[in-house]
Amino acid sequence: MTDATAESSPYDRLAHHLAPDDPAQGYAAIDRAILAQLRVKAARGNMRWALWRTCPILAIALIDIPIAWGLLAWLVTDPKTVHLPFAIPHLPLWVLLGGPALGLIIINGWFYLIEDHVLNRVFPDPPLAPVMAEWLAANRPNYPTLHYWDEVFWPSGRRLAQRSSFLGFTYWPELSPSELAERIARLEGKAVRR
C-alpha cells in the first residue's frame, strides 16, 4: 500500500480494492451499492410518511363520525329540540361503538407500524457483494456497512443531484452519467456544454 493510498478515504481504498486496474469501475460498484441502500432507506421513510398522513385521519374519522351521528340522531329525536326537515336514522349500537373501537385499533397498529424494527423487516437492507463485505469487515470492523457513506464520502453536489422528491416522498432514480453530470452542473449553476 502506497502512502497516497494510506492517506485516501475508505471510499477510494475500497474502489481501488474492487478494481485495481480501473478504479472508475470500483467507484461505480460502490455507488450502485450505496444507491441500493438509499433506495431501501427511502422506501422506509416513504412508508413512514404515508402512515403518518393517512392513519390518523382514518382513525379520527372512524372515532368521530359514529359518535357525532349518534349524538345528532339522539338530539333530533328528542321532542324538546328543534326538528330537522329530514329524518336521521338511528344506527345500531354495534356501529356506534364499533367505529371508535376500530379507530383505536388503527391508531395502535399505526404506532406499531412506524417503528424502525417493523420497517426494517418489511424493507430489509440489500446484501453487499461478498468482496465488498469482506473488505469492510477487515478495514472497518466497528462499522462494516455502507450506511451513510453517501453523507460522508460523496460530494454534496452528487448526493443532491441523485436525490429526487415529490410531495414529501424521496426516491433515488437511476441516472446515466450524462444525466448525473447535467444535474450536478445545474446545481452548481454552470452551463452544460454539449
| Residue 66 burial class via C-beta count within 10 angstroms: exposed 0-12, middle 13-18, buried 19 and up | buried
Rg (CA), the chain: 27
pTM: 0.68
Shared domain for 162 and 84, answered yes or no, is no
Distance (Å, whole) CA 82 – CA 60: 28
Shared domain for 105 and 184, answered yes or no, is no
Mean pLDDT over 80-85 rounds to: 60
Q: Note whether 16 and 26 are within 8 A (CB).
A: yes
| Best CA proximity match to 155, nearest among 132, 187, 190 | 187
Q: Is the per-residue pLDDT at 74 higher than 80?
A: no
* C-alpha cell read off for 141: 470492523
Q: What does the pLDDT read at residue 80?
A: 57
In degrees to the nearest 10, what's the CA dihedral of 86, 89, 95, 99? Answer: 10
Shared domain for 161 and 150, answered yes or no, is no
Shared domain for 76 and 99, answered yes or no, is yes
Q: What does the pLDDT read at residue 2?
A: 45
Q: Is the per-residue pLDDT at 118 higher than 60?
A: yes
Shared domain for 107 and 185, answered yes or no, is no
Host domain of residue 180: 155-194
Shared domain for 131 and 73, answered yes or no, is yes
Number of domains the chain is built from:
2
Shared domain for 142 and 168, answered yes or no, is no
Q: What is the mean pLDDT of the chain?
A: 78
Shared domain for 101 and 137, answered yes or no, is yes
Shared domain for 187 and 95, answered yes or no, is no
CA dist list (Å): 101 to 74, 131, 147? 20, 52, 40
Q: Is the per-residue pLDDT at 155 higher than 80?
A: no
Distance (Å, whole) CA 181 – CA 188: 10
Shared domain for 86 and 180, answered yes or no, is no
Q: What does the pLDDT read at residue 86?
A: 63
Residue at grid coordinates 418489511: 122
CA 53 to chain centre: 14
Sign of the C-alpha dihedral computed for residues 65, 69, 72 and 74 taken in this order = negative
Instruction: Label residue 81 by pLDDT band (50, 70, 90).
Output: low
Shared domain for 45 and 117, answered yes or no, is yes
